[in-house]
Structure 1
Amino acid sequence: MRTVDVLVVGAGLAGLRTACLLARRGLDVMVVDRRRSLSAGIRTTGIFVRRTLDDFDMPEHLLGPGVRDVLLYPPSRRAPIRLTSDRDEYRVADMAAVYEHAHRAAESAGARVFLGVRYVDASRGSVRFVGAEPVTARFIVGADGARSRVARDLGLDVNRRFLVGAELVYPIAPGTTAPAFHCVLDPRIAPGYLGWVIDDGRHAHVGVAGYPNAMRTGIRHLLDAFAADAPGTTPPAGPVERRGGPIPVGGVLRRLACPAGLLVGDAAGAVSPLTAGGLDPCLRMSELAAAVTAAYLRTGDQRMLSQYDGNALRTRFRGRLLLRRAFAGIRSPAAAEAAVTALRGRAGRALTARILFGDGSFPEVNPHLADLAIDHPD
């Protein structure tokens, strides 16, 4: 039976990024994903915020035009609030190409990536799959999504609060749309969240998300109804792609690591509770996870794992968790209309701009820990 230093379950952005960083540190890394193609089953719109683009090297050719304007609509769709930044705040990536880029980077660093291999379970270091022979792993990284099987097998915390999102992707003719992010606050189509339209220069992404128990008519029906007259786009006859899946919005989980492994990305709840954005925290937590994992495997000191502390990370989201609860309480169109009206004032616009354009992020890798983990294992 083959032995590896680290098994990463899930070849999304979090898993591939973590695998790449670990392989660069000289560890023997194996990645498995049940998908046969990384372009299948994409769940994210692919919106990268300015802070991510400033701090991480994203390939320019995989990103759409910069977006500076956000329009927030009440249920009536009349007189939206327009917020304009003096900088590019958002860019939508070609996520299939981003995953493939991350795949190549991981393999170039020395990680071995196996697609079409489904993780079954882990017991006493032995990991079983469908589609491959079992392996023995010194450490497992769970990057297997919001409903992580690895988290349950390792006895770590699991996500319990979700939105469910769905999106249609329509082709658009280049140069026919102005870059803008349209957000509709209407509990009839997106209870507790938003409907949105944003484009990447080639495709318009039209989506809705909300609490599953409040979407009584079904998310597909709500999405199709919203897409028929969504602001900011005139969709053609049919979409070229449908996306969707659960979005954890309970904040970063408390117990993220144990001597057998740790969690990253959606599996760790690394999604902003308020905005449901997960790409920025995904990348940042992957940096921290790789540093912690390498340091732990190099030294055998379990105290290294305490650096990957969900309780500490949750403090960065305390305010957004409170706002998430307030947002979830907007249950009627009249209440949503009133909420947008309240945001039209100076204080409301400042709060909205801070949420949409703010520089806050998490976590930053402890420099001492990062330096410690750079050395190759003895």
Structure 2
Amino acid sequence: MRTVDVLVVGAGLAGLHTARLLALRGLDVMMVDRRRSLSVGIRTTGIFVRRTLDDFDVPDHLLGPGVRDVLLYPPSRRAPVRLTSDRDEYRVADMAAVYEHARRAAESAGARVHLGVRYVGASMGLVWFAGAEPVAVRFIVGADGARSRVARDLGLDVNRRFLVGAELVHPVASGTTTPAFHCVLDPRIAPGYLGWVIDDGRHAHVGVAGYPHAMRTGIRHLLDAFAADAPGRTPPAGPVERRGGPIPVGGVLRRLACPAGLLVGDAAGAVSPLTAGGLDPCLRMSELAAAVTAGYLRTGDRRMLGRYDGNALRTRFRVRLTLRRVFAGIRSPVAAEAAVTVLRGRAGRALAARIMFGDGSFPDVSPPPADLAIDRPYR
């Protein structure tokens, strides 16, 4: 029977980044994902914010042009609030290419990535897969999404508060549009969240997200209705791709780790409660998770796992969780219209700019520099 130090379940950005960091620390890392190709089943819009691009090495050629303008619309779609930054605030990535790049980086570091392998369950240090021999593992990293099976098998917390989102992605004819991020606050199409169009001049992403219990006509119907007259929408210049899935917005889970494993990415609730952005949080928490995992496996000291404590992390999210509850409480078009009116004032615009352009959507949870060292493998 094969034995590995760490099994990573799920080859999303969080899982791939964690696998790479663990392999660089000299661990024997195996990764599995039930998808046969990382270009299918993409659920994220792929919006990278400036702070992420400043702190992490995302290849420039995998990113679209920068977006500096954000327009916030009330339900009437009249007189949007325009916010303009003096620097690029958003860039939309080719996520299929980003995943493939991250896969190659993980494999170059020494991780073994197996696609088309479905995780079935884990118990007593053994992991089972569909149609394959079990593997003995020292530690499991659950990077298997918002409804994590690994979390349940390890007895860790699971996400219970979700938005559900869906979007259409299509290419844009070169030179026909100006890059902009259009956000529509309208509980009739996106109860508790937004409808959006982000157009970087290469691709347009048209999407809606909201609380599933309030989407009485269904997410697909709402998306198609919104896409028909969404602000900033351009006629598709080619094939249209559909994406969608659950978005956990309850904040980082409290119980993230145990002696058998830990959670990263959406499985850990590593999504900004306010903006529902997950790419920046997944990278930041993956670095902490890798440092904690390596330290624990090197020393056997369970106190190391205490550094990956969701209760401590949640204290940094109190304001965002409060604002998420306020956002969820906007249930009528009249209230949404009033909310956008408030944003037209000086204080409102400052708050909106801080949310859309600020550096604090997800707090820095990175380990100290000494814990990030990868030049001293312990095997």
Could you say which TM-score interval applies, normalised by the shorter chain? over 0.9
Q: Cα deviation per residue 1:121-151 (whole Å; 9 max; x = unaligned)?
A: 0010100001432101100000000000000
Shift of 1:236: 2.9
Distance 2:354 2:369 in 1: 31
What is the letter of the counterpart of residue 2 of structure 2?
Answer: R
Q: Tell me the CA shift for residue 174 of structure 1.
A: 1.4
Matched with 1:241 is 241
8 Å contact from structure 1 (residues 292, 373) kept in 2: no
Give the superposition deviation at 1:235.
Answer: 2.5
TM-fit CA distance, 1:318: 1.0
For 1:283, give the aligned amino acid. Answer: L
More displaced stretch, 130-139 vs 92-101 = 130-139
Q: Which piece of structure 1 moves more, 167-176 or 224-233?
A: 167-176
CA–CA separation in structure 2 for the residues paired with 1:235 and 1:194 = 21
Q: Is the contact between residue 116 and residue 131 of structure 1 (CA under 8 Å) also seen in structure 2?
A: no
Note if contact 1:288-1:363 (Cα within 8 Å) is conserved in structure 2.
no
Partner residue in 1 for 2:288: 288
Conserved 8 A contact 2:74-2:186: yes
1:172–1:201 contact (8 Å) kept in structure 2: yes
Query: Could you tell me how far 1:366 is from its partner in structure 2?
Result: 2.9
User: 1:281-320 counterparts in 2 under 5 A?
Assistant: 281-320=281-320
Q: CA deviation at 1:309?
A: 1.2
Residues 148-159 of structure 1: pairs in structure 2 closer than 5 A: 148-159=148-159
Post-superposition shift, 1:315? 1.9
Q: How many Å separate the matches in 1 of 2:71 and 2:98?
A: 27
Structure 1 residue aligned with 2:104? 104
Q: Which moved more, 1:230-239 or 1:135-144?
A: 230-239
Q: Distance in 2 between matches of 1:60 and 1:372?
A: 25
Cα deviation, residue 254, structure 1: 0.6
Counterpart for residue 259 of structure 1: 259
Write the mapping of 1:1-378 to structure 2, written as runs, cut at 5 A.
1-236=1-236, 240-360=240-360, 361-367=362-368, 370=371, 375-378=376-379
Contact 1:295-1:369 within 8 A present in 2 as well: no
Larger deviation, residues 170-179 vs 252-261: 170-179
Alpha-carbon shift at residue 238 of structure 1 (Å): 7.5
Q: 1:109 to 1:214 in 2, by over 3 A?
A: same
Deviation at 1:201, TM superposition (A): 3.3
Residues 64-115 of structure 1: per-residue CA shift (max 9 Å, x gap): 0111110000000000000011111110000000000000000000000000
**More deviation in 20-29 or 365-374?**
365-374
TM-score, structure 2 as length reference: 0.97
CA shift, 1:21, in A, is: 0.4
Q: Give the 3 Å change call, closer, same or farther, for CA 75–90 of structure 1 in structure 2.
A: same
Structure 1 segments of 4 or more deviating over 6 A?
none
The structural deviation recorded for 1:44 is: 0.4
Distance 1:89 1:237 in 2: 25
Closer/same/farther in 2, CA of residues 38 and 293 from structure 1, 3 Å limit: same
Residues 295 and 372 of structure 1 are in contact (CA less than 8 Å); yes or no, is this contact kept in structure 2? no
Extract unaligned runs of 5+ from structure 2. Answer: none
* Separation in 2, partners of 1:131, 1:52: 39
* Shift, 1:202, TM fit: 2.2
Matches of 1:70 and 1:42, distance apart in 2:
25
TM-score (ref. length: structure 1): 0.98
Q: Secondary structure at the match of 2:132?
A: coil
- Do the aligned residues in 1 keep the contact of 2:195 with 2:207 (CA within 8 Å)? yes
SS at match of 1:134: strand
> How far apart, CA to CA, are the structure 2 residues paired with 1:105 and 1:372?
17
Worse overlay, 285-294 or 234-243: 234-243
Distance 1:91 1:238 in 2: 21
Identity %: 87
The answer to whether the 8 Å contact 1:228/1:235 transfers is: no
Structure 2 CA distance, aligned partners of 1:110 and 1:372? 17
Q: Matched residues in 2 for 1:235 and 1:143: separation?
A: 36
**How far apart in 1 are the matches of 2:94 and 2:201?**
10
Query: In the aligned structure 2, how far is the partner of 1:209 from the partner of 1:23?
Result: 36
Q: For this pair of structures, how many residues does the alignment match?
A: 378
In 2: Cα distance, 1:145 partner to 1:371 partner: 25
Question: How far apart are 1:359 and its partner, in Å?
Answer: 1.2
Separation in 1 of the partners of 2:92 and 2:30? 29
CA distance, structure 2, for counterparts of residue 94 and residue 286 of structure 1: 21
State the AA in 2 paired with 1:18.
T
Task: Write the distance in 2 (CA, Å) between the matches of 1:237 and 1:69.
Answer: 23
Would the alpha carbon gap of residues 339 and 74 (structure 1) be closer, same or farther in structure 2, given more than 3 Å must change? same
- Offset at 1:329? 0.6
Note if contact 2:249-2:276 (Cα within 8 Å) is conserved in structure 1. Answer: yes
Aligned-residue Cα RMSD (Å) equals 1.3
